[in-house]
Structures are given as structure tokens and as C-alpha cells.
């Protein structure tokens, strides 16, 4: 892209959160091979808050989320320009092992993906991985309670995690992710495979989680963002360069994004003109 084209590209007014930021994410360009997937997305993640990522399909919101804990490293053709800093430290620094990053920044995925082992072992997985010396059972129970799953599984902790229903599996995955109490929890459309009741429970959990942790949430559901997110980042798709390139249109307090958006595109999106 030439300098002029870059200058002409729409660029969001930078959003600076009031409180301290945990992750300072500035992605100028994200590529998969030659394909420019995301550009100009500066998404600060504020401590102790829920940051929601919304936008139409293919807008790169998942890509941005996955850059935060280096999950994109699993895709060999992924590369990016910019930086992601976690507590001021470069996540992509030369001597930084992505494994370490992912132990501090946990993740819950779109599809429930419990391991084919017992419910107990699923939740204890991260604790054992980190060689946790304390009371394992207590931690497992606490994580399951917080994930609103304890009552349903307390009598069958030895049963396979895959024997649960879809909604229960997703809550199991959340329990697995929060058992180690990671500093930041990334959630990539965690409710898209859930029924309304399970969705409600997971949203309740997110609100509880932000008491002690930071949450970044990708959601396809605008109502979910209004219900739980403190700050919302709206991503759009730019098709002017030939491909479908996602970029940050606007980021602000959730209330402002939905009630008083500054960009026309945001206005159209939140009023349901396209999705």
C-alpha cells in the first residue's frame, strides 16, 4: 500500500481508557500469507473490565483477539506489523515463549472443546500443567462453581467431559480456563453454541470474573455486548483493496457506541442495518 493510500484509509479516533491497560495492542497490519486480514486496529484492553469486540463476519475481530495470546502462531502464514504489549512487555519479543504468554492469558473458544478425559481432569489440567502445589480438589470445585457447573457435575466428576451437553461442555471449558486464574481471559464467541439459559449463565459469570480479572470478548451478538461489555470495539470490513480487510472503526464506552456513535458505519451497524 502506498503512503497516500494509507493516509486515505479510514482510521478510528484513538480510544484511551480511563483506567490502567493490561494489554496494549496496536496492529498496523495483520497478514495471512499475502492476504491483508486486519489493518489499523489499536485495541487497548483495560484492567478489570470487559472489552467487547463486535462487527460483521470477516471483520477480523477473532484475528485480533487471537493475536493477544499468540494463538495465531499456530497458523504458519500469520505475520503482523505493530506490537502487542502485556503489562508493558512485548508479547512477541524475541525471547518470549508463546507457551508462557498463553499461561497468563487464557482463552475460551467458540466451539466447546473439552479434552477427552474426565470432568475433573479437564479442570485440573491447567493446574497440573503449572505444577500447582496446593489443594487441587478445592481449586477444581471452585472453578466449577464459578462456571455455574458444579451442581450438575459434582456427582460425576469421573465421567468424561465429552459426555456433557454442549452448554455444559462450554461451561466446563470456562472452568478449565479459569481454574488457573489467568490474569486475562479471552473469549471468542463463547456463547454462539449455547442456548439462551446457558448464555445467561455464562454472561453472569463474565460479570463476576471481571471483579478479579480482565476479559476480552468477541461476540456476534450486539445485545450481549450491551449486557456485559464496559468498552466496545466495533470492527468493519474494507473491500476497497480487493480483499476483505478488517479494521477498527470505532472504540468507546459501550453506552456511547450504542447510543451516540461517532462513525456512520457504527451507527448503521448498531441500528441493525447490516450484520
List residues near another protein by CB under 8 A. 69, 71, 74, 99-103, 106-107, 109, 111, 113-118, 125-126, 129-130, 159-164, 173, 176-177
Q: Which is nearer to another protein, 84 or 249 (CB)?
A: 84
The 3-class secondary structure across 67-118, one letter per residue, is HHCCHHHHCCCEEEEEEEEECCEECCCCCCCHHHHHHHEEEECCCCCCCCCE
Cβ atoms of 179 and 119 closer than 8 Å: no
Work out how close the CB of 40 gets to another protein at its nearest, in angstroms, rounded to a whole number: 27
Work out how close the CB of 114 gets to another protein at its nearest, in angstroms, rounded to a whole number: 8
Q: Which residues contact 227 (CB under 8 A, 6 or more apart)?
A: 203
Work out how close the CB of 258 gets to another protein at its nearest, in angstroms, rounded to a whole number: 30
Work out how close the CB of 85 gets to another protein at its nearest, in angstroms, rounded to a whole number: 19
Work out how close the CB of 46 gets to another protein at its nearest, in angstroms, rounded to a whole number: 22
Q: Which is nearer to another protein, 123 or 257 (CB)?
A: 123
CA distance 212 to 45: 15
Cβ atoms of 188 and 109 closer than 8 Å: yes
Q: Distances in Å between the alpha carbon of 79 and those of 19, 72, 207, 238, 249?
A: 30, 9, 33, 19, 22
Q: Which is nearer to another protein, 39 or 66 (CB)?
A: 66
Work out how close the CB of 111 gets to another protein at its nearest, in angstroms, rounded to a whole number: 5
CA angle 8, 259, 239 (to 5 degrees): 30
Cβ atoms of 49 and 17 closer than 8 Å: yes
Cβ atoms of 161 and 118 closer than 8 Å: yes
Q: Distances in Å between the alpha carbon of 172 and those of 26, 32, 35, 119, 169?
A: 32, 32, 35, 8, 5
Work out how close the CB of 151 gets to another protein at its nearest, in angstroms, rounded to a whole number: 19
Q: Which is nearer to another protein, 101 or 222 (CB)?
A: 101
Amino acid at each position: 500500500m502506498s503512503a497516500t493510500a494509507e493516509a486515505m484509509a479510514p482510521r478510528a479516533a484513538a480510544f484511551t481508557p480511563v483506567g490502567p491497560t493490561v494489554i496494549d495492542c496496536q496492529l498496523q497490519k495483520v497478514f495471512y500469507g499475502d492476504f491483508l486480514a486486519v489493518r489499523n486496529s489499536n485495541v487497548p484492553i483495560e484492567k478489570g473490565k470487559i472489552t467487547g469486540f463486535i462487527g460483521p463476519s470477516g471483520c477480523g475481530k477473532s484475528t485480533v483477539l487471537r493475536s493477544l495470546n499468540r494463538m495465531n502462531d499456530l497458523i504458519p502464514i500469520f505475520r503482523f506489523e505493530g506490537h502487542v504489549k502485556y503489562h508493558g512487555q512485548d508479547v512477541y519479543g524475541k525471547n518470549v515463549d508463546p507457551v508462557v504468554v498463553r499461561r497468563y492469558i487464557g482463552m475460551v473458544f467458540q466451539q466447546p472443546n473439552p479434552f477427552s478425559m474426565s470432568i475433573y481432569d479437564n479442570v485440573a489440567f491447567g493446574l497440573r500443567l503449572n505444577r500447582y502445589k496446593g489443594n487441587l480438589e478445592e481449586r477444581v470445585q471452585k472453578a466449577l462453581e464459578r462456571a455455574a457447573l458444579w451442581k450438575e457435575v459434582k456427582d460425576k466428576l469421573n465421567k468424561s467431559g465429552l459426555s456433557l451437553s454442549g452448554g455444559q461442555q462450554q461451561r466446563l471449558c470456562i472452568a478449565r480456563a479459569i481454574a488457573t486464574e489467568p490474569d486475562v481471559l479471552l473469549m471468542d464467541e463463547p456463547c454462539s453454541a449455547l442456548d439462551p439459559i446457558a448464555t445467561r449463565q455464562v454472561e453472569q459469570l463474565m460479570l463476576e470474573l471481571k471483579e478479579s480479572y480482565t476479559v476480552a470478548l468477541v461476540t456476534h451478538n450486539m445485545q450481549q455486548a450491551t449486557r456485559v461489555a464496559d468498552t466496545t470495539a466495533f470492527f468493519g470490513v474494507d473491500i476497497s483493496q480487493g480483499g476483505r480487510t478488517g479494521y477498527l472503526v470505532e472504540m468507546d464506552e459501550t453506552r456511547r457506541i450504542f447510543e451516540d456513535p461517532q462513525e456512520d458505519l457504527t451507527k448503521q451497524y448498531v441500528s441493525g442495518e447490516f450484520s
